Amino acid sequence: MKIRLLIMWVVAALVLVVTNVLIFQKERLLASPQFILLELAPVDPRSMIQGDYMALAYAITREDPQDLPTDGQLVVAAGADSVARYLRVYVPSAALAPGELLLRYRIRDGRLHIGSEAFFFQEGTAAAYEQARYAELRVDSAGESLLVGLRGPAREPLGAPMQR
């Protein structure tokens, strides 16, 4: 009985440690000053089953995933408007030029995926996001990204400011 109790406490501690490490990583990414905007491709804006959220599709994912590794990084460059444009697939032996950033991707079911593909918002605030044309992502040097908001046609922030 003591061994079972010990195993239970070790597993619980491990779960807490892993959870806190993941939270710390996301908080560090949120604090990053580096952000990019990705143009959104048209999608159905809401799902009645899952509540108030917007399904996202990024224009950059229209790149042909054929001949790409299953997981990797894209090289993008953000212009003066902060909108990222696809340049090439990252090759670890090649150095990045000034202004180039990495963006991690995965290919699943024959589709190129980048970060979150859903933006949840408070019930009753859907109208504030109907004009969304860009997704704002925080990115780190390894290409990990975190969706932090949506922006309108003039790249203005939509909805309420992010609460921290």
Residue-level pLDDT at 159: 78
Domain layout of the chain by residue ranges = 1-31, 34-151
Is 80 exceeded by the pLDDT of residue 3?
Answer: yes
pLDDT, tens only, 16-27 = 999 999 888 888
* Angstrom distance (rounded) from CA 2 to CA 43: 54
**Once rounded to an integer, what is the mean pLDDT over residues 55-68?**
77
pLDDT, tens only, 124-144 = 777 888 888 999 998 888 888
112: DSSP letter: E
Give how far Cα 130 sits from Cα of 38, 40, 55, 124, Å. 16, 12, 12, 12
101 close to 139: Cβ distance less than 8 angstroms: yes
Is 80 exceeded by the pLDDT of residue 75?
Answer: yes
State pTM to two decimals: 0.73
* Angstrom distance (rounded) from CA 105 to CA 88: 12
Confidence at 8, pLDDT banded by 50, 70, 90: very high
**Once rounded to an integer, what is the mean pLDDT over residues 147-162?**
83
pLDDT, tens only, 88-123 = 889 888 889 898 999 999 888 878 888 888 887 777
Is 80 exceeded by the pLDDT of residue 51?
Answer: no
Neighbours of 26 (CB within 10 A): 13
Residue-level pLDDT at 134: 92
- Reported for 117-121, long-range contacts at CB under 8 A and 24+ positions apart, including other chains, are 117/55, 117/56, 117/57, 118/50, 118/53, 118/54, 118/55, 118/56, 119/53, 119/54, 119/56, 119/147, 119/150, 120/51, 120/52, 120/53, 121/52, 121/53, 121/54, 121/159
90 close to 102: Cβ distance less than 8 angstroms: yes
